Amino acid sequence: MDIPTQAEVCIIGAGAAGGIMAWELARRGIRVVVLESGPRHDLARRFDYMRRFLKGENPWRTPLRELDLYTTGGGVSYRLDENRVRGVGGSLLYWEGYTYRFHANDFRLRSLYHLAEDWPISYDDLEPYYAKAEMALGVAGVADDPWASRRSASFPLPAFALSYSDRLFARACKTLGITLHRLPQARNSVAYDGRPRCRAYSTCHVCPIGAKASADLTHIPRAQATGNAHVLADMTTLRLELGQGHHVHTAVYAGHDRRERRLAARVFVLAAGAVETSRLLLLSASKGFPQGLANRSGTVGKYFTSHPSIDVTGRVKDRVYPYRVGFSTAMTRQFAVERDRAKKGSFVLEFLNRAGLRPAEIALSSGTWGAELRERVAQEFGHTLGIRVYCEQLPDRENAITLNPEVKDYFGNPVPHITYNVGQYEREALEEARQVSAKILQVAGAADIQAGQLRLAAHQIGTHRMGPDPRASVVDANLRAHDVPNLYLVGSGSFVTASSSPPTLTIVALAIRAAEHIAARLRAG
């Protein structure tokens, strides 16, 4: 195989941001090379992946575990190994597909609530790109969210019908004056974009048929089909090197043989996730950038945030038929919008259609067979209602990604060190969410209501935040690095604040917007 040594645009990372950018640029005739540290997974093997997932494995993890080493500290241990995915498709291989937009207020925390910072762009600036992102991913939904901000287009796919348990939740919420609405998600309610409709295997972390949007199924192969995109899998970028005028000239990368290779390009795009993008910048320190590439502000790696989360569950007497329509179908954002966020963080409630163990999981853990196993499954399966809480977290400079020189990865580079904590602002919101969730479950007829331990969503946010001031931010409103004119940093690491919404749709919208900006610059010479 011929390995290219030059490109117009080098994209590092083949996930949600990198995949859509490869397509947007390649279809405009721009020569793109994508460097991805993980493998290209085979769709034909996904039923095997699903079986492994049901046994408690993460089949998307690379067998080369030395690539995924990290250390952690701070008040809360952030388990990066539980939710990091390497491979063509990136986090879209493993995500649950939830794709609701940020609210307009999420972009203006400083103006409205005297918290954090405002984004340098508004919801109205991003709205057309939200519409494009929904089309690109194939989002199923309906405009029944009374707190949603303005939309310019309908959802491309019809919403999924409410599950049996969500109909129970809807009645309980109505009694309590809480508005439940449909949950937009990027899995096919009908055949779309060459992919089949969802068959409700309810193993959405491993969709065996490709009904859930993923860059490895759509935008990456389409980009390659143009003849303008080349994808190099199992190739880890080690550092970026500068040429003249503080421009990046070369990406230095290596495969499993550890042999260094080089790729020159006019423009470089880092789309490796908030942790690895900031780590690569820090690894690319030089005489001109002693604190790390594009880090004259000293903010690369800082303001790392996520979404603190809890599950609240209860037992019901009658069966609620979980796992029949895929993942969740309903949510409420009432507590994300109708509140004074200066006093307490926003949160969303997702009503789970998959609470409790699956029959296969019960069987694998029971150690019983035959009639005894059937009886156990009948007793344990289908009698749990659950609500998942996702809470807003304010950016905190002390929550950060740094390098740990005492621990080295497969290539001999320092691993990322994650310092992370959850503050009182978030903990008070979580406690309110627990109380609200318990009340909903009680009205829905549940008993033995329990809240699980604090967990952290697989959402890595901050670390190379955007802003107008190069002294306090890393990239501008177009995601171009203030300090390096031909370097773009895309993904949720560029977010100024986290909101309480999942980041993927906003990642894709910003990536499409950045791709348009890059294409216009290249055309202009």
How far apart, in whole angstroms, are the C-alpha atoms of residue 281 and residue 289?
10
Q: Which pLDDT score is estimated for 44?
A: 81
pLDDT at position 409 is 95
- Does the structure show a pLDDT above 80 at 366? no
| CATH number of domain containing 343 | 3.50.50.60
Is residue 487 predicted with pLDDT exceeding 90?
Answer: yes
Number of domains in the chain: 1
Task: Considering only residues 256 and 325, tell me which one the structure prediction assigns the higher pLDDT.
Answer: 256
pLDDT over 90 at 307, yes or no: yes
State residue 85's pLDDT score.
Answer: 84
3-state secondary structure of 513: helix
CB 18 within 8 A of CB 91: no
Q: How far apart are CA 475 and CA 495, in angstroms?
A: 10
323 Cβ contact list (under 8 Å, min separation 6):
200, 202, 353, 354, 358
| pLDDT over 90, % of the chain | 77
Q: How far is CA 349 from CA 115, 159, 169, 389, 448, in A?
A: 23, 18, 11, 5, 20
Give a yes or no: residue 175 inside a domain.
Answer: yes
Instruction: Decide if 1 is inside a domain.
Output: no
Model pLDDT, residue 244: 83
CA 93 vs. chain centroid, Å, equals 10
How confident is the prediction for the chain on average, in pLDDT? 92
pTM, full prediction: 0.95
**Distances in Å between the alpha carbon of 321 and those of 266, 374, 385, 437, 456?**
55, 17, 10, 20, 27
The torsion region of residue 488 among left (phi > 0), alpha (psi -120 to 50) and beta comes to beta
Q: Which residue has the higher pLDDT, 328 or 19?
A: 19
Residue-wise pLDDT tens digits, 135-145 = 999 999 999 99
Does the structure show a pLDDT above 80 at 509? yes
Sheet hosting strand 414-419, strand order edge to edge: 71-73, 414-419, 400-408
Range of the domain at 488: 6-524
| Tens-digit pLDDT profile for residues 155-193 | 999 999 999 899 999 999 999 999 999 999 999 999 999
Mean pLDDT of 392-404: 97
Q: 3-state DSSP call for residue 460?
A: coil
- What band does 226 get if pLDDT is binned at 50, 70 and 90? very high
Between β-strands 347-352 and 330-332, what pairing exists: parallel, antiparallel or unpaired?
antiparallel
Query: Cα–Cα distance between 135 and 125 in angstroms, integer?
Result: 18
Over the range 351-368, which residues count as b (16 or more CB within 10 Å of their CB) and which as e?
A: bbbbbbbbbeebbeeeee
Q: How many other β-carbons are positioned within 10 Å of the β-carbon of residue 247?
A: 14
Q: So what's the pLDDT on residue 387?
A: 96
Rounded CA separation 370/470 (Å): 67
Averaged pLDDT, 391-420: 96
Tokens of 268: 């470089």
List pLDDT tens digits, range 289-306: 999 999 999 999 999 999
**Is 386:328 a contact under the CB 8 Å cutoff?**
no
Q: Mutual orientation of helices 370-380 and 359-366 as an angle, nearest 10°?
A: 130
Mean pLDDT of 51-65: 79
State yes or no: pLDDT of 357 exceeds 90. no
Closest CA to 359 of 374, 377, 341, 345: 377
The answer to which of 26-35, 237-246, 358-367 has the lowest mean pLDDT is 358-367
Question: Is residue 144 within a helix (H) or strand (E), and if so which, with residue range?
Answer: none
Q: At 438, is the pLDDT very low, low, confident or very high (cuts 50, 70, 90)?
A: very high
Local confidence band at 517 (pLDDT 50, 70, 90 cut-offs): very high
Contact 223, 23 (CB under 8 A): yes
Radius of gyration (C-alpha) of the chain in whole angstroms: 23
**What is the total residue count of the chain?**
525
Pairing, β 400-408 against β 414-419:
antiparallel
pLDDT tens, residue by residue, 245-287? 889 999 999 999 999 999 999 999 999 999 999 999 999 999 9
pLDDT in tens, 97-124: 999 999 999 999 999 999 999 999 999 9
From CA 110, how far away is CA 112, in angstroms rounded?
Answer: 6
What is the DSSP-derived secondary structure letter of residue 100?
Answer: P
Angle at 377 between CA 371 and CA 381, to 5 degrees: 165
In a domain, 330, yes or no: yes
Q: How far is CA 96 from the centre of its chain?
A: 9
Cα-Cα-Cα-Cα dihedral sign, residues 26, 31, 32, 33: positive
Q: Of 41-45, 178-182, 348-352, which range is least confident? A: 41-45
428 within 8 A of 345, measured Cβ to Cβ: yes
Asked whether the beta carbons of 290 and 431 are under 8 A apart, the reply is: no
Type of residue numbered 352: L
